[in-house]
């Protein structure tokens, strides 16, 4: 990542299992409720995934009109295997096909990128959007992620014994037993200036574990390096961070790894919250939902509870947000990790 002028977040859009709208997602997260239900994919959070609707909401929020030099960066793990554009009638199985169709429908004239780095894709997409705008290769970027559940995905996670069969998932809980799957779409608009500054996108970092095909580095080395890279990119110290939006899948290995990574990066002092107990693990969209949540935390000072966590794991030495609280938040870090040792972090600030 490269340094340069401030890039601001001017628009938010989302379709989650709580319903359509970024504010609907935010209110659901704040409530402590869960949208995870038992059904076809076991315990999962289902919705009608409509990336077009979410992107248009973010554009309207930002007041974007001329899209000739606007970029689209859409993270995904399933690509065109399902049709998550919204209203699609034809099967487009290439990974980039839904994003390309989204760009055609919206009239995007700038770069179109489709990062697919497992469950770090949504966060990586926001980091790429930051680079495109900083460098002047795009005047603005609509960046985030979208994924839809399929039998292939559900069976894959099931075969890995990564899913909590009793559900819903319980991030950072002593008795956590795996994740719950989810689906949705979330986008943020980033630009150098705009009608409305909601937050500053200060820095981003990427790093790999180089350890295993699916399991994370249990000591959190890659995740810690991604956090450190984001801090360096944003010219910030660990002590500047007031809030962490965690990956928090609810699996035994991920949550323990993340605790160690935050400690290694000097971030164990900050309140830590995970939203996957509310909307499930939305795969390539997860990091975008968590970035959106960070924007609303910065705007309101409200920290949503970590839905599903009732008995803190005593081995996880973090300030876990187990109930809604209100504090002054000037800077937030969002972190994501994925299969293959993919790690991404971003930092957002109030000013």
Residues 293-307: tens digit of each pLDDT: 999 999 999 999 999
Confidence label for 83 from pLDDT (cuts 50, 70 and 90): low
Q: In degrees rounded to 5, what are phi and psi of residue 113?
A: -125, 145
Domains and CATH numbers, the chain: 7-191 (3.40.47.10), 203-349 (3.40.47.10)
- The model's pTM is 0.94
pLDDT for residue 181 = 97
pLDDT for residue 182 = 97
116 versus 218: which is more confidently predicted?
Answer: 116
Confidence label for 215 from pLDDT (cuts 50, 70 and 90): low
Query: Residues 306, 176: contact at Cβ < 8 Å?
Result: no
281 versus 156: which is more confidently predicted?
Answer: 281
* Mean pLDDT of the 220-224 span: 92
Exposure b/e, 109-145, CB count within 10 A at least 16 = b: ebbbbbbbbbbbbbbbbbbbbbbbbbeeebbbbbbbb
pLDDT, tens digit, 9 for 90 and up, residues 146-201: 999 988 889 988 888 899 999 899 999 999 999 999 999 999 999 997 778 999 99
pLDDT for residue 174 = 96
Beta-bridge partner residues of 141: 71, 190
- CA-CA distance, 8 to 126, in Å (whole number)? 12
pLDDT for residue 217 = 72
Which CA distances in Å does 190 have to 6, 38, 71? 10, 36, 10
Name the average pLDDT for the chain: 92
Q: Is the pLDDT of residue 80 over 80?
A: no
pLDDT for residue 97 = 82
Q: In degrees rounded to 5, what are phi and psi of residue 216?
A: -75, 160
Which CA distances in Å does 303 have to 154, 184, 271? 30, 22, 9
pLDDT for residue 87 = 53
DSSP string, 145-203: EEE---HHHHHHHHHTT-B-SS-S--TTBTT---B-EE-EEEEEEEESS-S---EEEEE
């Amino acid at each position: 990542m490269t340094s340069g002028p401030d890039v601001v977040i001017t628009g938010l859009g989302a379709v989650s299992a709580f319903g359509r709208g970024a504010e609907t997602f935010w209110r659901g997260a704040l409530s402590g409720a869960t949208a995870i239900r038992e059904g076809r994919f076991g315990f999962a959070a289902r919705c009608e995934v409509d990336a077009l609707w979410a992107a248009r909401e973010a554009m309207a929020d930002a007041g974007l009109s001329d899209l000739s030099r606007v970029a689209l960066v859409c993270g995904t793990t399933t690509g065109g295997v399902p049709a998550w554009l919204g209203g699609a009638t034809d099967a487009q199985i290439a990974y980039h096909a839904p994003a390309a169709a989204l760009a055609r429908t919206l009239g995007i004239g700038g770069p179109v990128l489709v990062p697919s780095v497992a469950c770090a894709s949504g966060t990586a997409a926001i980091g790429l959007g930051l680079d495109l705008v900083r460098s002047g290769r795009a005047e603005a970027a609509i960046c985030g992620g979208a994924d839809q559940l399929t039998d292939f995905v559900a069976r894959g996670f099931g075969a890995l014994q990564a899913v909590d069969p009793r559900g819903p998932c319980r991030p950072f809980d002593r008795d956590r037993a795996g994740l719950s799957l989810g689906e949705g779409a979330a986008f943020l608009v980033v630009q150098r200036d705009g009608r409305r500054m909601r937050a500053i996108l200060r820095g981003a970092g990427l790093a790999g574990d180089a350890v295993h095909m699916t399991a994370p580095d249990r000591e959190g080395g890659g995740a810690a390096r991604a956090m450190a890279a984001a801090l360096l990119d944003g010219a910030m110290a660990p002590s500047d961070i007031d809030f962490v939006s965690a990956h928090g899948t609810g699996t035994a290995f991920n949550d323990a790894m993340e605790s160690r990574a935050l400690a290694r990066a000097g971030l164990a002092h900050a309140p830590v919250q995970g939203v996957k107990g509310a909307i499930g693990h939305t795969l390539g969209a997860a990091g975008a939902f968590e970035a959106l949540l960070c924007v609303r935390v910065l705007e309101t000072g409200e920290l949503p509870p970590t839905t599903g966590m009732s008995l803190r794991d005593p081995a996880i030495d973090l300030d876990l947000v187990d109930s809604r609280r209100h504090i002054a938040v000037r800077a937030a870090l969002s972190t994501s990790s994925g299969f293959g040792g993919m790690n991404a972090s971003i930092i957002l600030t109030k000013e």
